[in-house]
Structures are given as structure tokens and as C-alpha cells.
Amino acid sequence: MLDLKVHIDTNSGFCFGVVYAIEMAEDILNEDGHLYCLGDIVHNDEEVKRLVNKGLKIIDHRQLKNLEGEKVLIRAHGEPPSTYELAIKNNLTLVDASCPVVLKLQNRIKNSFDKKDKIYIYGKHGHAEVEGLLGQTANEAIVFQDIAELDLENMPERITLFSQTTKNTDKFYEINRILMDRGITVQTNDTICRQVSNRDKELRIFAASYDKIVFVSGSKSSNGKALYEVCRQKNPNTHFVSHPDQIEKNWFSKGDAVGVCGATSTPMWLMEDVRNTLLRY
């Protein structure tokens, strides 16, 4: 026996937007036995499998076009206006579990677009949330993941800057400063969710407190990849797993203090499964 001392980070796990979406899905599944969901309800394969086994049916936008008269869940990432227009056309009942923080951001971007602002969005290309934000601007906004993508010499003199809700706060303000230093007038909108961004600081403290870290996340989670790197930078003995079966016993030494943590898309039950596996060593 390795006699590991294992602790789960109480700040890890689902953010409130994901909790809201999953609770809404489970209520309908318990009542109706099935529910369509536009895209993975959360970027965690194990949680998706659990809900699929309860009757959740994952579809994409192509399949949505051929669906009629059904209930369809809009996940926390939100959707562009075109999805709502299609729902009306196909007599679909949308169960809107869009995160309130995302909805507020969509409204702010729509208001700026209506005022003819030059809109720039700091976010990940192709991300579901970002696609929903772009839809508020008829896909006219400029999306960038890194300031190196922008042609600073030929940008408008005045822009309105937004951010995907899950981006890094420090990086956002660094981008804002660089733009202003280049003489660009920036109307800055800090639209980053603090429940998500604060995980960065909390995880640095957590990761430094243990001999080894097991970071639990789905491989599709952008948030998971970013927070894993935060842990690894603070504690090089950090290991990424999506399932308890991926844990290797030789990562640990006898008596190690092991911290288990995860992304905003990682369910607590999965971190508990990881903890229980470690305690059996």
C-alpha cells in the first residue's frame, strides 16, 4: 500500500452555468425520458455518457435542421440568433440553458453592433460561445485568440473590445493596454466570468500544497487545458486524466500527499472516483 493522502479541491468542478444546464436536462429526462441537446452539454465525455444513458441525444446544427416538433436543449455556451429562428420554423421547443453571464454578454454585443461599433472579441476561434457571440453581429465582429493576429497598423482608430467569458483576465487587460499604447481608442468591456477566472489563482495555491496533482478534465475542454497548465507550472508533478483508468500507480511514492482538481466542466463525482482509485493503491 502506498498510503496516499488524497484531497479534492473544493473549488473545482462545475461552474454555476453548467450546473444549471445539467439540472435542467435531468429534470426533463426524468419526465420525458429523452431530450435533444445541441452539442455536448459539457466538455466532459464521462458526464456526457452518463446523461446519454438517461436519454440525452446529442445533435449538431446539421441534424437540427431536419428535426421537427421536439424539445432541444441550448447548453450553457449559448447560441446565435439563427438557431432560434430555425426553432420557430421547425416547431421546436427550445429549452434555453444558456449561462446568464453569456446571455448578458450577447446582449451587450448586440447593442454595440446596433450602434455600428467596430467590435473585436478576444476568444477562441470556432468555440461554441464565440459562435453565439459572432451571431449577434451578423458574423461581422473580429475574433482573435492572440494579439499577434491583429494588424495593429491598419486597425480602426476606435474599437469596442469584448472577451469570451472564460478567457484569462490578466491577458485581456494586457491586450487592452497594448492596443491603447498603439493609439487606438478602446471601449473596454470586461465580460470575463469571475467564477471561472478566479480558478486560476485558487489552483496555483492548491497545486503548490501537494506532492503530486491529478488534474481531471475532458480532452475537449479549453478551460481544462488552460487550468492544467496553471497547475503544471506551479507543480511539475501534475498529471492529466480524463478517467480513473488512466491513472498510473508509478506516478506516486509511499505517503505522498495528492491533490485532485479539475476544470469547470469536470463533475465532482468523477473527481471522487479518481480519489477512490488513488486510495486503493
Classify 147 in phi/psi space as left (phi over 0), alpha (psi -120 to 50) or beta.
alpha
Per the CB < 8 A criterion, the answer to whether 23 and 245 are in contact is no
Out of 85, 129, 157, 202, pick the active-site residue: 129
- Report the alpha-carbon angle 67-69-72, nearest 5: 65
129 is catalytic: yes
Classify 7 in phi/psi space as left (phi over 0), alpha (psi -120 to 50) or beta.
beta
CA 74 to chain centre: 14
Number of residues that this document lists for the chain? 281
Pairing between strand 93-96 and 119-122? unpaired
Backbone angles phi, psi at 143, to 5 degrees: -105, 135
Closest-CA residue to 241 (of 257, 261, 222):
261
**Active site members:** 129
